[in-house]
Structure 1
Amino acid sequence: MPPDTESAGAAGGRDEAENPGPKGGRDEAEDPAGGPGPPPRIPLPRVSVEDGGLPLPAAGRSGPLLLEHPVLKSLLGAWALAACSPEESAAVEEHLGECGACADEALRLREAVVLLQRPESLDLDPALRTRVLEGCLERRPPRIPVPEWATPYDAETARLDALLQDFGDSEWHAPVRLRWFEAGGAASRRTTVAGVLAHLLTVDGLVAVALGLADPLGDIVAPAPAPASRTEAYWRASHYPPTRAVRGPWREQSHDIVRTVSFTGSSAGRMPVPYGDFELPLHDAMLDRAFECWVHAEDIADAVDYPYEPPAPRHLNGMIDLAARLLPGVLAARRQAGLASSGGHRHLVAAGEPGRSLRLEIEGSGGGEWFIPLDSPAAVGSAEHEVAHVALDGVEFCRLAAGHVSPAEAAAGQDGDREAIRDVLFAAASLSRM
Structure 2
Amino acid sequence: MAIDHDEVRELLAAWAVGALLPAEQKTVPLHLAECETCAAEAEQLRETVRLLDGPHAGLRAGSRLNGAAGNGQGVLTAALRSRPRTARVAPHAAPYAAAVAGLQALLPELDGHWTTPVVHDWNAHATVAHLLAADEPLALRLGLDARVPASPVPQDTPWEDAWNARSAEVIAHEFTRTPEETVAAWAAQSRALLATPEAHDPERAARATTLMGMPLPVAEHFLVRAFETWIHTDDLGRALGVPVPPPPDEHLWTLVRLSLRVIGLVLSTAPPVRFAMTGAEPGTEWVLGSEHEPVRAEVVIDPVDFCLLLGGRYAPDAVPRTTTGDEGAVRNVLETAAAMSWL
- CA offset at residue 366 of structure 1? 9.1
Residue in structure 1 matched with residue 251 of structure 2 by the alignment: 315
- Which of 131, 152, 158 is 1:221 aligned to? 152
> 1:167, CA displacement in angstroms?
3.1
Following superposition of structure 1 onto structure 2, how do residues 227-376 of structure 1 map, counting pairs within 5 Å? 227-238=163-174, 240=176, 243-261=179-197, 265-331=201-267, 357-364=272-279, 369-375=284-290
Is the partner of 1:415 in helix, strand or coil? strand
1:416 maps to 2:316: no
> Are the aligned partners of 2:198 and 2:218 in contact in 1 as well (CA < 8 Å)?
no
2:93 to 122, 147, 150: 150
How big is each residue's C-alpha offset from its partner over 1:197-248, in whole Å with a ceiling of 9 and x where there is no partner? 1111111111111111112343332344543222012234456376231000
The within-5 A match list for 1:183-222 is: 189-222=120-153
Q: 2:309 aligns with which of 396, 400, 409?
A: 400
Aligned partners of 1:294 and 1:311 also within 8 Å: yes
Q: Structure 1 or 2: larger helix share?
A: 2
Tell me by how many angstroms 1:370 deviates. Answer: 3.3
Mapped partners of 2:306, 2:191: distance in 1: 29
Provide the identity percentage: 27
Query: Which residue among 175, 191, 215 is the counterpart of 2:117?
Result: 175
CA distance in 2, matches of 1:419, 1:358: 10
Report the Cα distance in structure 1 between the residues aligned to 2:123 and 2:100, rounded to whole angstroms.
18
Residue 266 of structure 1 deviates from its aligned partner by: 0.8
* Structure 1: 5+ residue stretches without partners: 1-116, 178-188, 333-342, 347-355
Q: TM-score, with normalisation over the residues of structure 1? A: 0.56
Which structure 2 residues correspond to residues 69-218 of structure 1 after superposition, within 5 A?
A: 119-121=55-57, 122-124=72-74, 126=76, 144-168=87-111, 170-177=112-119, 189-218=120-149
Measure, in 1, the Cα distance between the counterparts of 2:81 and 2:105: 17
Q: CA deviation at 1:424?
A: 0.8
Contact preservation (8 Å) 1:147, 1:266 = yes
Root-mean-square deviation (Å)? 3.2
- Counterpart AA for 1:221: P
Question: In 1, are the aligned partners of 2:198 and 2:219 still within 8 Å (CA)?
Answer: no
Stretches of structure 2 that go unaligned for 5 or more consecutive residues are 1-52, 58-71
The answer (yes or no) to whether the contact 1:314–1:366 under 8 Å persists in 2 is no
1:250-309 alpha-carbon deviations (Å, 9 max, x no partner)? 111111111114675111222334334333221111111111111101111122221211
CA pair 367-299 structure 1, distance change in 2 beyond 3 A: farther
Aligned residues: 272
The answer as to whether partners of 2:97 and 2:194 remain within 8 angstroms in 1 is yes
**Structure 1's 419 and 263: CA in aligned 2 closer, same or farther, altered over 3 A?**
closer
Name the CA distance, whole Å, in 1 between partners of 2:203 and 2:284: 28
8 A Cα contact 1:126 1:311, kept in partner: no
Q: Return the offset for 1:390.
A: 0.3
Higher mean displacement: 235-244 or 396-405: 235-244
SS at match of 1:216: coil
Tell me if the contact between 2:198 and 2:205 (Cα under 8 Å) persists in the aligned partners: no
Structure 1 321/391 Cα, relative in aligned 2: closer, same or farther at 3 Å?
same
CA gap 1:386/1:318 in 2 versus in 1, 3 angstroms: same
Q: Which has the larger radius of gyration?
A: 1
Structure 1 Cα separation of the partners of residues 214 and 78 of structure 2: 35
For residue 330 of structure 1, report the CA deviation from its aligned partner: 2.8
- Residue of structure 2 in register with 1:64 after alignment: none
- 1:352 paired residue number: none
**C-alpha distance after superposition, 1:56-96 (max 9, x if no partner):** xxxxxxxxxxxxxxxxxxxxxxxxxxxxxxxxxxxxxxxxx
